[in-house]
């Protein structure tokens, strides 16, 4: 599984890290939710996420959001501040390439999405504390393509992550993409680029063994 898919999966499943170990039995499901706080938390979180998904989909279905002026929801599930969702519709079927411009070529992130008319695009890997340049390239079946540029502003990293990564030069080779860190002394999973800049993290904490979906 490539890193984008892992981050994407963690992005949507990490709500379960808020819960204690164990699953509710059929007997527990019949109990008063007030007597089972973990079960109630799970129900509340899942309900909130479903409402967010439904709201985004509903907002773009009237056709008022386009690739030029899309719906932008930053940190949509309130667990991953360096993420966003971009939503819009196109009149014709189009595939989308989403590019987050990096400070170096190696740190530019690019994601491809399947052809369709309704587009709900996760944006993962924004720089903290700046305006990020995000480019949408639409490719149509007739060979035509269009490009639109947007900016997404983010907040600074929390103090406990600010100095977590030190960029030490060993050679001139830099690896493209992000490196995921989870477990050990790091209770909040995060990912950094080849320059040592944290571009993704979760606000929820894991146990010392980490979390690897």
17 pLDDT higher than 70: no
For 36, residues 6+ apart whose C-beta sits below 8 A from its C-beta are 24, 28
For 153, residues 6+ apart whose C-beta sits below 8 A from its C-beta are 130, 131, 132
Residue 148 maps to a domain: yes
Which among 125, 94, 128, 93 has a CA at the least distance from the CA of 111? 125
In this structure, of 30-39, 132-141, 201-210, the range with the lowest mean pLDDT score is 30-39
Q: How far apart are CA 213 and CA 200, in angstroms?
A: 16
Q: How far apart are CA 131 and CA 127, in angstroms?
A: 8
Residue 206 maps to a domain: no
| pLDDT for 27 | 40
pLDDT tens digits along 93-109:
999 999 999 999 999 99
pLDDT tens digits along 38-94:
677 678 778 888 899 999 999 999 899 999 999 999 999 999 999 999 999 999 999
CB 158 within 8 Å of CB 187:
no
Residue 173 maps to a domain: no
| pLDDT for 185 | 72
Q: How far apart are CA 33 and CA 16, in angstroms?
A: 17
| pLDDT for 28 | 43
Half-sphere exposure of residue 68: CA atoms within 13 angstroms, side-chain side: 4
| pLDDT for 46 | 81
207 pLDDT higher than 50: yes
| pLDDT for 13 | 47
112 pLDDT higher than 90: yes
Residue 139 maps to a domain: yes
CATH number at residue 83: 2.60.40.10
Residue 11 maps to a domain: yes
pLDDT tens digits along 119-173:
999 999 999 999 999 999 999 999 999 999 999 999 999 998 988 887 766 666 6
Mean pLDDT within 177-183: 87
Residue 133 maps to a domain: yes
In this structure, of 152-156, 176-180, 205-209, the range with the lowest mean pLDDT score is 205-209
Looking at per-residue pLDDT, the higher value among 207 and 51 belongs to 51
Return the sign of the alpha-carbon dihedral for residues 166, 171, 177, 180. negative
Residue 25 maps to a domain: yes
Q: Work out how many domains the chain is built from and give that number.
A: 1
| pLDDT for 172 | 65
| pLDDT for 44 | 79
Name the residue range of residue 68's domain.
3-153
Which among 184, 182, 192, 188 has a CA at the least distance from the CA of 213? 182
Residue 115 maps to a domain: yes
């Amino acid at each position: 599984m490539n890193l984008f898919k892992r981050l994407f999966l963690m992005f949507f499943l990490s709500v379960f890290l808020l819960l204690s170990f164990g699953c509710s039995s059929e007997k527990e499901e019949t109990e008063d939710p007030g007597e089972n706080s973990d079960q109630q938390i799970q129900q509340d979180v899942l309900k909130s996420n479903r409402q967010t998904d439904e709201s985004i989909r509903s907002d773009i279905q009237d056709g008022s959001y386009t690739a030029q002026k899309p719906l932008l929801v930053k940190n949509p599930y309130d667990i991953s501040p360096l993420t966003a969702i971009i939503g819009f519709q196109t009149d014709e079927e189009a595939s989308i390439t989403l590019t987050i411009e990096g400070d170096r070529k190696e740190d530019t992130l690019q994601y491809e999405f399947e052809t369709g008319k309704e587009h709900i695009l996760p944006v993962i890997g924004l720089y903290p504390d700046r305006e990020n340049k995000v480019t949408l390239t639409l490719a149509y079946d007739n060979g035509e393509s269009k490009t639109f540029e947007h900016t997404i502003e983010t907040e600074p990293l929390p103090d406990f992550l600010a100095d977590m990564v030190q960029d030490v030069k060993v050679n001139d080779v830099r690896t493209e993409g992000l490196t995921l860190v989870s477990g050990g002394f790091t209770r909040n999973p995060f990912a950094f680029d080849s320059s040592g800049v944290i571009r993704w993290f979760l606000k929820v904490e894991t146990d010392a063994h980490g979390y690897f979906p």
